[in-house]
Amino acid sequence: MKMPEGVESWRPAALSQIEHTEIAPRGFERLEFSGRGKLSAFSCSTIQPSELSKTSDWIDLVSELDAWGEVPEPNSIDQVSISDNGRGPVAHLGSEAEWIAEFLPWGSDGLLRKRVNSYPESCDLPCGGYSWNGSDVILIRNEISQIPNSRELLSEALENGDKGKSDEILRKCGRSLGALHNHVRDTRVTPPDPKRWNSRVAGIEEALHARSIWRAPYSRDSDCMLSIGDVRLDDFRGDSIRIGRPRLSDALHPPDCGFPAIRDLASLTHDLSRLHYSSGSQLDIVGLRLSLIGGWRETAPSKWASENVFYSHRGGLAIWEYEQCLLDVVEATSHQSGPPQPAVGLIEFVPSFQKKMFNNRTIGALSIMAGLFGISTLYASFPPSLQETFMPSLCFIASIVLMRAYRRMSPPPEAPFNRLV
């Protein structure tokens, strides 16, 4: 593909290109990548334009594709330029109107059009696209002037040490995300899937030869829903959320399950951690996270934002942020770009974080034992006299007090792993 020198940064540079027999639509080429040695668990297939330097190349590219939504008339395009970012090639198409064509090198999860049809109109959504054999390969957007995104605004606030402005930006982002989740609260909702969630995390840990292991029971309130998948601060502009392309880790370790709303929040919270780390800000990360989480809980469905969902002893926000850290490492490993921070630093504290929660379970176990002892004592003396109810009552009171203490010991969601040990 003819592109400026230094682009194609989205390709997994550390993986070897291998031969294959898969076909591609006209004007495209398909590439297969596979890792060797310690990277043998990683592989992916990509599709990209063979060449896109002239308007005739664009006409050729879309000739065998199926269009959906609003797309430009191919023969009306009089100017083409191409660049790329970490998600794949991006073409700017000139005609009477300006268009952006975002290529999907590794496809999508099959839910992009469902999101376009279900998300609120306030979102920055593709207006159309092209698919091949049922898989989306290009997203089309109208090119419009853009106001600064929340990453840019927050970067400036962090640089200036402006906590009030930072809190305001993050609370607004949280509210916008929660409002989106509330809008789709009745769309494609299925029961929680802890077995697959734990299996997914285990697969990533195994592929990375990770020293950390984390499984959780999860909350029964963590319904699978039409989640965004990957949420970044630069997706937020004003009250709008940009629904973009999937990240590379989705190609290297494809999702095979639905996800709860709190995973989107974890993705955004982890992006805050990335920016806070790279900026070197002296503002307290705990307070910043609290503003973001608090904003989300104001507008998200109450069930999905309940205390049970945030309860760290059952996974809470923490295990989903752990997954985001692992995905950062997956992508860095596929590029051999060095340890990604703050992901690696946070993962190092996971064993200590888990040890703290394990120690907390001693209190929970004592609560259960006290309750069981009270039940057995009551049963043994049934029907009990007034005097015989004293010991069971004492056990029940102790059980309740201990259980409340155990729940209060659950690590708060606003505190990252490295602040709890």
Tens digits of pLDDT across the chain (421 residues): 444 444 467 889 899 999 888 889 999 999 999 999 889 999 999 999 999 989 999 999 999 999 999 999 999 999 999 988 889 999 999 888 899 999 999 988 889 999 999 999 889 999 999 999 989 999 999 887 678 999 999 999 999 999 999 999 999 999 999 999 999 998 889 999 999 999 999 999 999 999 899 999 999 999 999 999 999 999 999 889 999 899 999 999 999 899 999 999 999 999 999 999 999 999 999 999 999 999 999 999 999 999 999 999 889 999 999 999 999 999 999 988 889 999 999 999 988 888 877 777 777 777 777 778 777 877 677 776 766 677 778 777 878 887 777 677 778 899 998 876 5
- The answer to whether residue 1 is domain-embedded is no
Q: Which domain holds residue 392?
A: 356-408
**pTM for the whole thing?**
0.89
Helix-strand-coil percent breakdown of the chain, rounded to 5? 45, 15, 40
Look at residues 142, 171, 206 and tell me which one is the last residue of a structural domain: 142
Tell me: do 208 and 285 sit in the same domain: yes
- The answer to whether residue 52 is domain-embedded is yes
Q: How many domains does the chain have?
A: 3
Length of the chain: 421
Tell me: do 186 and 135 sit in the same domain: no
User: Which of 346, 182, 151 has the alpha carbon at shortest distance from 264?
Assistant: 182
What integer pLDDT is reported at residue 115 of this predicted model? 94
- Looking at residue 65, its amino acid is L
- Looking at residue 40, its amino acid is S
Cα separation, 122 vs 126, in Å, equals 12
What is the token pair recorded at 411? 């690590």
Tell me: do 109 and 31 sit in the same domain: yes
Phi, psi of 262, deg, nearest 5: -65, -20
Cα separation, 251 vs 44, in Å, equals 6
Tell me: do 274 and 312 sit in the same domain: yes
Cis peptide bond N-terminal to 342, omega within 30: yes
Tell me: do 82 and 33 sit in the same domain: yes
Tell me: do 344 and 367 sit in the same domain: no
What integer pLDDT is reported at residue 35 of this predicted model? 92
The number of CA neighbours under 13 Å toward the Cβ of 230 is 18
Tell me: do 97 and 187 sit in the same domain: no
* Residue pointed to by tokens 């990683």: 42
For helices 150-159 and 261-279, angle between their N-to-C axes, nearest 10 degrees: 40
Cα separation, 321 vs 346, in Å, equals 9
What integer pLDDT is reported at residue 2 of this predicted model? 45
Cα separation, 279 vs 262, in Å, equals 26
Tell me: do 184 and 305 sit in the same domain: yes
